[in-house]
Amino acid sequence: MRSQFVVALLGLALLGSADAAHRSPLRRRLFGSGPGNPCYYVRSALEFYRCHQATADAAAVAQAAADATASAKAAKAEAHAKAVAEAQAKAVERAGKEAHAKAVERGQKEAAAKAEAHAKAVAEAHAKAVERAIKEAAAKAEAHAKAVERAQKEAHAKYVASVEAARVGCGAGNFYTAPFACTPCSAGFHTSAASQTSCKQCEVNDALDATHVGFAVAKGAKKCDKHTVCTLPTTLNGAGEYETKPARPHHDRECGTLVVAAAYQFISQTETATSPRIVESCPFNYKATDDFSGCYAYRCSHVTCSHLKHKCSMFNTVAQHRTPGTMAALMSHRNECDGTTLFKTTVTLHNRDENTCNNGHWCGMGVVTGDKTKCECAPLNLKPAKVDKGKVNTQGDVGLATYKAASAGFALGGAGYAFAGDYGTKGLYYYTSGTYKNMAFFGTGGTMAQESAPVSPPKARISTSEASYDAALVSHMQDTYAATP
């Protein structure tokens, strides 16, 4: 500052007056160009110095004030600028935010619009694709369904054919179980035809003759075999069979042979359809009754006899030596012993060891066995009543029937059957043909009317003449009753 002031003084000295200085370019350069300068019209250097000093001080103050003002303005401006900057920044920020928000909103709207358009396009494309896919899938599904249905029909047809083949192929003796099982019938069951769903049990019924009646031992039977039928006896003590094993669907009936009692045996247990006939032997000198229910003494154990044919002397009048007849008859025919007439005499020999004829005996030719060449003795209780033709009832007289049949030339019984028995036909008859031809039989247990009733062929009654009947009766009477004990 002081250097500037020295320069100004020096200029004033050089320049002269103020007016000259005012008009001089140098003066204008040192003190300003116009009257606006406070020291422009100063005349002397001192004044100028003083003016300039004051002016410089004022200028300094002003400058300081100006500087302060400028600083304040600058600070204010800075603050304002800062505020403005802040406001602008805020405005910019706000504007930016708004712009961003608007941009974002616009972008969002545009994006939304684009997204919507894209979504719409995608949705349409998807819808079309889905529709196309659905159509294709539907077409494929329909084709697949048709293929499956066709395959199912073919498979079902094959299955049905296989099942039917299995059913039809399940032959007799088996039963069919769907779909493919074919099982043999168990023992005791059968099927007589194919394709049966069950087996029928064999039936035990001897009265029927059918495929389901009988038995089946093995599996897979096509029919039931007819059960064996035991042959039952038709007569008392007749031949026959009894059941030893009952008939069942799974096995046959088994039969045992009945024992036939001989003449010297009796039946201790009568047979049934399922039990045997038990036969036991009679004691010695005993034989079975007609019904074989027991035994009876049929001959003497020790008493014997002999049959003699002789001509008695007219001097022999001992009645015990001359039979038949009684003492009265003998006494009334004394003259019959003439030494010429032939007589038949039965001589009885007694024995103290006798045990079957202790209550009496009767002896004669064939009275035990029917053999007319032998003299035999039997218990007295077996001696039948004397029979006279036309006077005594001959019903059930087996002895007389025996003589009658024998005299007519017929065999006495045969083919396993006895001459006399409880037969359906009563009385004496014979067969004209067949198995029993020329065999005579006598049915016991009948009445006189039944014994004489007509019979049907091949049976016939024995018809004898009156003379032959008399001869048979007389022979029967003589040989059976002549001897007395």
Q: What is the DSSP string of 52-83?
A: HHHHHHHHHHHHHHHHHHHHHHHHHHHHHHHH
Q: Specify whether 444 is located in the same domain as 346.
A: no
Res 395: pLDDT: 57
pLDDT of residue 278 exceeding 90: yes
Q: Is 187 inside any structural domain?
A: no
| Residue 93 forms part of a structural domain | yes
Residues 405 and 470 both lie in one domain: yes
Judge whether residue 389 has pLDDT over 70.
Answer: no
State the pLDDT at residue 402.
78
Residues 327 and 250 both lie in one domain: no
* Domain assignment present for 410: yes
For the segment 166-176, the average pLDDT, to the nearest whole number, is: 91
Q: Which residue has the higher pLDDT, 394 or 162?
A: 162
Report, in angstroms and rounded to the nearest whole number, the Rg of the chain calculated over CA atoms.
Answer: 84
- Choose the weakest-confidence range: 71-80, 180-189, 270-279, 390-399: 390-399
Q: Count up the domains in the chain and report the number.
A: 4
User: 356 with 393, same domain?
Assistant: no
CA dihedral 121, 122, 128, 131 (to 10 degrees): -140
| 453 lies in the same domain as 375 | no
Angle among Cα 384, 413, 269 to the nearest 5 degrees reads 75
Q: Report which listed range, 207-216, 310-319, 330-339, is most confident.
A: 207-216
Same-domain pairing of 427 and 393:
yes
Residues 274 and 160 both lie in one domain: no
Residues 293 and 321 in one domain: no
What is the pLDDT at residue 483?
A: 37
The mean of the pLDDT values for the chain is 77
Mean pLDDT confidence for 183-208: 89
Find the domain containing 274 and state its range.
Answer: 241-297
Minimum mean pLDDT among 268-282, 284-298, 327-341: which range? Answer: 327-341
Q: Which of 383, 413, 437 is the last residue of a domain?
A: 383
Confidence of residue 430 (pLDDT cuts 50, 70, 90): very high
C-alpha separations of 362 from 196, 356, 385, 449 in Å: 78, 12, 12, 32
Pick the residue with more confidence: 411 or 317?
411
Looking at the fold, whether 100 and 135 belong to one and the same domain comes out as: yes
| Beta-bridge partner residues of 30 | none
Is residue 479 very low, low, confident or very high in pLDDT (cuts 50, 70, 90)? very low
Check residue 475 and give its pLDDT. Answer: 45
Residue 333's pLDDT band (boundaries 50, 70, 90)?
very low
Q: What is the pTM of this model?
A: 0.42
Residue with tokens 């359906």: 424
Domain boundary among 141, 167, 193: 167
Q: Give residue 189's pLDDT.
A: 93
- Where is average pLDDT lowest: 15-29, 133-147, 246-260, 467-481? 467-481
Among 167, 187, 215, which residue terminates a domain?
167
Residue 311 is predicted with a pLDDT of 65
- Please list the residues that pair with 278 across neighbouring strands: 269
Q: Binning pLDDT at 50, 70 and 90, where does residue 260 land?
A: very high
* pLDDT at 437 exceeding the cut of 90: yes
CATH number, position 252: 2.10.50
Beta-carbon-side half-sphere exposure of residue 27 (alpha carbons within 13 Å): 23
* Range with the poorest average pLDDT among 292-301, 344-353, 465-474: 465-474
349 and 270 fall within a common domain: no
Local confidence band at 10 (pLDDT 50, 70, 90 cut-offs): low
Same domain, 155 and 249: no
At residue 94, the pLDDT reads 78
